[in-house]
């Protein structure tokens, strides 16, 4: 049985759309988690948020968000402003302009495409003096760079608009964040879903769009996977670090061919096909075994008594017993069937009283 969908909406390509559901491909249910408890009593602990200055516990309705601008100094940002920023971000065009040297301290520079990054060397902090021809063409180049690239406006949070398609091999693995399965939500959407899948598979392309998860817009790619579609949310460009900052000090070496040949021979002796069983979390496996062993040594709790099958009463017998209990009481022996008093033999004491009065 498929798990519950994390997101329900529509996948749209131009005028073609279909209802889809987004399912996480990673399950956190298999993780072994622990709770903080009191070692003496074994009871679970509860954490409270405390004001660092007053030392008082802060209730949930007084908790807010603050951006730190100094030591113990925070700029309060209301939730309304955050929601307004989310709405503005969905209609904001992409900006590919690179910051100037003066702005590098204010905002981090977005990553350039890997094919355009310089081979070796750190990002230059000093700009070499350009030649006269290049200096004359520089303002025009900067103007072209600063022109924002428009993109379709996200109309709502329940639509994945595939607005561009790129070769899969051009997407660096560093940008992949989390995998998902994208499945059709009903039989009516199956045809449009299949058309989008087959078109991408035939052209060898993956679609790029955006999805809103947990009130946060994320870029994602959609690609064919068998008869279905697989999606990956992507990191933002500012989240991925450039390799130039780490590989700049590595200088090229001329290695002896014999050393390389022997190393290649070792690699080929260890060559295998990819096997997911190699990805076993051995720490989790050992931990589960220990927890099961400790659980088996716990004293068994007395189970609640289950009703015996011998105590089951026939429904018809129970109804008859209830009906007899609800009947009015039977007429007394001193009355006949008509309700009148019947002739009775007077008692001895009654006869004595009558003879005494007549005498």
Q: Are strands 73-77 and 65-70 parallel, antiparallel or unpaired?
A: antiparallel
Long-range CB contacts (within 8 A, 24+) of 194-199 = 194/227, 195/16, 196/11, 196/13, 196/16, 196/18, 196/162, 196/229, 197/224, 197/227, 197/228, 197/229, 198/224
> What is the full per-residue pLDDT of the chain (359 aa) written as tens digits?
567 899 999 999 988 899 999 999 988 777 888 888 888 888 898 888 888 888 888 888 888 888 888 888 888 888 888 888 877 777 777 766 444 444 444 444 444 444 334 333 333 333 343 443 444 444 444 434 444 444 444 445 789 999 999 999 999 999 999 999 999 999 999 999 999 999 999 999 999 999 998 888 899 999 999 999 999 999 999 999 999 999 999 999 999 999 999 999 999 999 999 998 888 888 888 888 888 888 888 887 766 666 665 555 677 777 777 777 766 666 655 555 555 555 555 555 555 566 555 55
CATH number of 7-24+156-244: 2.40.290.10
Q: Taking the complete model, does pTM exceed 0.85, yes or no?
A: no
Domain segments of the chain: what residues? 7-24+156-244
């Amino acid at each position: 049985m498929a798990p519950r969908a994390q997101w329900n909406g529509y996948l749209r390509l131009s005028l073609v759309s279909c209802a889809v559901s987004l399912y996480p491909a990673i399950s956190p249910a298999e993780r072994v988690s622990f709770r903080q408890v009191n070692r003496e009593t074994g009871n679970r602990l509860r954490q409270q948020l405390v004001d660092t200055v007053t030392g008082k516990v802060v209730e949930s309705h007084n908790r807010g968000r603050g951006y730190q601008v100094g030591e113990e100094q925070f700029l309060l940002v209301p939730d309304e402003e955050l929601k307004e920023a989310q709405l503005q971000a969905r209609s904001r065009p992409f900006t590919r302009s690179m910051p100037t040297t003066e702005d590098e301290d204010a905002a981090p520079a977005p990553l350039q495409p890997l094919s355009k990054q310089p081979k070796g060397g750190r990002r230059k902090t000093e700009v070499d003096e350009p030649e006269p021809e290049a200096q004359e063409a520089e303002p025009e180049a900067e103007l072209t760079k600063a022109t924002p690239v428009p993109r379709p406006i996200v109309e709502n949070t329940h639509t994945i608009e595939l607005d561009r398609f790129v070769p899969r091999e051009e997407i660096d693995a560093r940008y992949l964040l989390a995998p998902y399965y994208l499945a059709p939500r009903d039989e009516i959407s199956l045809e449009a879903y299949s058309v989008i899948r087959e078109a991408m598979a035939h052209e060898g392309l993956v679609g790029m769009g955006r999805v809103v998860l947990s009130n946060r817009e994320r870029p994602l790619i959609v690609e064919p996977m068998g008869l279905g579609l697989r999606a990956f949310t992507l990191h933002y460009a500012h989240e991925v670090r450039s390799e130039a900052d780490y590989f700049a000090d590595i200088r090229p070496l001329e290695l002896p061919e014999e050393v390389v040949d022997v190393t290649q021979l070792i690699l080929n002796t260890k060559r295998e096909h990819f096997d997911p069983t190699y990805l076993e979390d051995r720490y989790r496996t050992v931990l589960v075994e220990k927890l099961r062993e400790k659980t088996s040594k716990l004293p068994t709790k007395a189970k609640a008594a289950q009703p015996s099958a011998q105590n089951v009463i026939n429904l018809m017998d129970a109804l008859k017993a209830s009906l007899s209990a609800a009947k009015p009481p039977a007429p007394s022996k001193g009355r006949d069937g008509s309700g009148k008093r019947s002739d009775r033999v007077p008692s001895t004491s009654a006869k004595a009283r009558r003879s005494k009065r007549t005498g």
